[in-house]
Structure 1
Amino acid sequence: MEYMILINGDESAPRPSYGEPGYEEFMATWLAYTQRLIDGGHWVSGANLHPSTTATTIARGFGTGDTLLDGPYAETKEQLAGYYLIRAADLDEALQLAAAIPLPAGAIEVRPVSYRPDAS
């Protein structure tokens, strides 16, 4: 079964940028986690996202049409930062894999994927 792991973090939390001291060490934990998924046969896809300030949201009301909003829809401290789409035997295994994500603070949401037309 496939599971979507949504990674929500605080964009204002300090983290090194490319080329800055500590960047290689920071990325090494994420690359190691991704390699663990690949080696275990769990990897389907994944990506990090640009900051929420680059988002455009389509707010849809019932009978009121669409409204374009700059940024994310929800005003929260934590924003969607990235995702992994994985294969796991069951929710317990998916949760174990998600718990190993090297996110120092934030929230990790795990949801089963019900259907993907291109799934093999």
Structure 2
Amino acid sequence: MFYAILAYHEEEVVSSWTKEEDTALMTELLEINERLVREKTLGPAARLGPTGRAVTLRGKDAEIVIDGPFAETKEQLLGLYVVDCPSLTAAVETARELRRANPTAVYEIREILLYLPGAPLSASAES
């Protein structure tokens, strides 16, 4: 079963990290990522850009474009992982491991009802 692990954090906290602090955290998270890839349980993962550059589509036929993500939460969605786990319990344990690396983040685990892998993205998508 596929699960999405959605990573939430307060953008102000994340943007306050020094380059060294951010690099150290990403190094630890990428070690988990690499292990999950070796175990063939990790699908796509992404670190999202700032919400200040996000837009939201609203209205009938999505004709209205509004600046910002308009999340009704203190934290913002900053990234996501797609994992292939045999159960919700296993997906929760994977999220716990990610949280040990980033203890101030919040991780939401949701079952994926439809998974379409799409086409491989070019390296230009990595930024």
Same fold? TM cut 0.5 = yes
Q: 1:16 aligns with which of 10, 15, 18?
A: 18
CA distance 1:22–1:6, shift in 2 (3 Å): closer
Runs of 4+ residues deviating >3 angstroms:
21-24
Which ranges of structure 2 fall in alignment gaps of 5 or more residues? 119-127
Q: Could you tell me the percent identity over the aligned residues?
A: 28
Aligned Cα root-mean-square deviation (Å): 2.1
* Structure-2 separation of matches of 1:118 and 1:58: 23
* Structure-2 separation of matches of 1:37 and 1:24: 20
Q: Whose Rg is larger?
A: 1
Tell me the TM-score normalised to structure 2 length: 0.78
**Match for residue 84 of structure 1?**
81
* Higher mean displacement: 94-103 or 80-89: 94-103
* Higher mean displacement: 71-80 or 5-14: 71-80
Q: Answer 1 or 2: which has greater strand percent.
A: 1
Question: Matched residue pairs, number?
Answer: 114
Contact 1:44 1:85 in 2 (8 A): yes
Tell me the TM-score normalised to structure 1 length: 0.82
CA distance 1:55–1:90, shift in 2 (3 Å): same
Which ranges of structure 1 fall in alignment gaps of 5 or more residues? none
Q: Answer 1 or 2: which has greater helix percent.
A: 2
* Structure-1 separation of matches of 2:59 and 2:36: 36
Contact 2:25 2:102 in 1 (8 A): no
Contact 2:54 2:67 in 1 (8 A): yes
Deviation, structure 1 residue 118: 4.6
Deviation, structure 1 residue 27: 2.0
